[in-house]
Amino acid sequence: MSDLRDKVIVTVAPTGGFLTVADNPFIPTQPEQIAADVARCHSAGASVAALHARRPDDQATCDAAIYRRMNTLVRQSCDIVINNSTGGGVNGDMVSVRSDGTRVVDWDARLQGLHGGADTCTLDAITAYVTSPVGEVLMDTPPSRAAELAASMRELGIKPEWEAFSPSHLLQEIRTLTEEQPGPHLVNLVLGLDRTFQNAMPYSPQILQQMVEHLPEKSVFSVSISGPDQLRGLTHALVLGGHVRVGIEDYPFLANGEPAENVRLVENIVDIVQRLGMQPATPGEARAILGLEGSDE
C-alpha cells in the first residue's frame, strides 16, 4: 500500500444549486455538460466531484433519474468519486410552500437525491433559513429527519458527507449521528456562507482551527470556502492536514475577478498542493482515504 499521508483529495463542485449562466457563463447545468466538465477537472487533478442536478430549465432538482443519467455519463468519462447533493437548491423541484407562506426545502425531494447511484451523498443535518435570490427558504431538518437520512444512506451503501457550517453542527448533530458508527467519517467544513445560511460562519484562521479541533474521532475532513478568502483558507486547510474543495459552486471567480472555468480552479489549487510538497490523490487513493469500496490501494 502506498503512503497516503501526503495525498490530498481535491473535490470539484462544478454547479451547485444557486448560480446560473448569468452569474458565470462557464457553469455546466445539464448532465452532458457536467460530465464533460468533470472529465476535464479529473484530468487536472480532481478525485471527487460534488454534483448538483438541474432540470432542463436549469432549475434545481434531486430527481433520481437526472442524477442517474449524470452519474452514468461521468463514470463513462472518468473514474472520479461521485458525491450527490441531498440539499438540492432553493428553486425548481426543491421548494414547497407551507400554508403560512413559508418556503421550505422539500423533504421528499431531498430523499430522491439518495437514489442516483452515488458513492457519497451530502448530509446537511441542519435547520436554518437560507437567504436566496427568491427570498428566504427554510431547510428544516429536525433530529429525527437527520437520523432518517443517515439510516437511509447506510441501507443504500452510501457514505454520508457531513456538512458543518459552524462548530455547533459538529458538537451536536454530527457527533450524535456518528457515535458508534464505523469510520472514517467524511466531514466537509463549509465557511464563508455566513450571509447566505443562518448561523453559518465566515472563514478566519481561528474559526477553521476551532472546527478542526471539534471534529468527531476518525474523521477525514475537507474544507470549502466561499468568497475571496478561498485560496488563503484552503491553504490553511492543507497545512492543518485537510483536503480541499473548489468549483463554481463555492466561488466562481479567478483572483482577478474574472469568471472562472472549473478546470482553472482545480489547476490553481493543485498548484498550491504541489508547492506545499504534497500531491493530488487519484480517485483510487481517494477511495482508500475515505474508506470506500473500489480502492486501488
For 131-178, how does the pLDDT look when each residue is reduced to its tens digit (9 = 90+)?
Answer: 988 899 999 999 999 999 999 999 999 999 999 999 999 999 999 999
Task: Note whether residue 283 is domain-resident.
Answer: yes
Give percent of the chain above pLDDT 90.
Answer: 95
Whether the per-residue pLDDT at 26 is higher than 50: the answer is yes
Task: Note whether residue 227 is domain-resident.
Answer: yes
Helix (H, G, I), strand (E, B) or coil at 154: helix
Residue written as cell 431538518? 141
Distance CA 82, CA 155 (A): 18
pLDDT of residue 1: 44
Peptide bond into 184 cis (omega under 30): yes
Task: Note whether residue 297 is domain-resident.
Answer: no
Average pLDDT over residues 249-255: 96
* pLDDT range class, residue 295, cuts 50, 70, 90: low
pLDDT digits (tens, 9 = 90+) for 154-166: 999 999 999 999 9
SS3 content of the chain, % helix, strand, coil (to 5): 35, 20, 40
Whether the per-residue pLDDT at 32 is higher than 50: the answer is yes
CA-closest candidate to residue 118, choices 85, 147, 95, 151: 85
Strands 219-225 and 185-191, by their bridges, are parallel
Whether the per-residue pLDDT at 296 is higher than 80: the answer is no
pLDDT digits (tens, 9 = 90+) for 44-101: 999 999 999 999 999 999 999 999 999 999 999 999 999 999 999 999 999 999 999 9
pLDDT of residue 2: 61
Whether the per-residue pLDDT at 243 is higher than 80: the answer is yes
pLDDT of residue 297: 44
218: left (phi over 0), alpha (psi -120 to 50) or beta: left
Q: What mean pLDDT value characterizes the chain?
A: 96
Task: Note whether residue 105 is domain-resident.
Answer: yes
- CATH number of the domain that residue 114 is part of: 3.20.20.70
pLDDT of residue 293: 80
Task: Note whether residue 1 is domain-resident.
Answer: no
Task: Note whether residue 121 is domain-resident.
Answer: yes
Q: What's the domain count of the chain?
A: 1
Task: Note whether residue 130 is domain-resident.
Answer: yes
Helix (H, G, I), strand (E, B) or coil at 125: coil
- The dihedrals phi and psi of 51, each to the nearest 5 degrees, come to -110, 135
Task: Note whether residue 295 is domain-resident.
Answer: no
pLDDT of residue 266: 98
CA-closest candidate to residue 75, choices 292, 287, 283: 283
pLDDT digits (tens, 9 = 90+) for 179-227: 989 999 999 999 999 999 999 999 999 999 999 999 999 999 999 999 9
Average pLDDT over residues 258-279: 98
pLDDT of residue 248: 98
* pLDDT range class, residue 3, cuts 50, 70, 90: confident
Give the domain extent around 48: 7-290
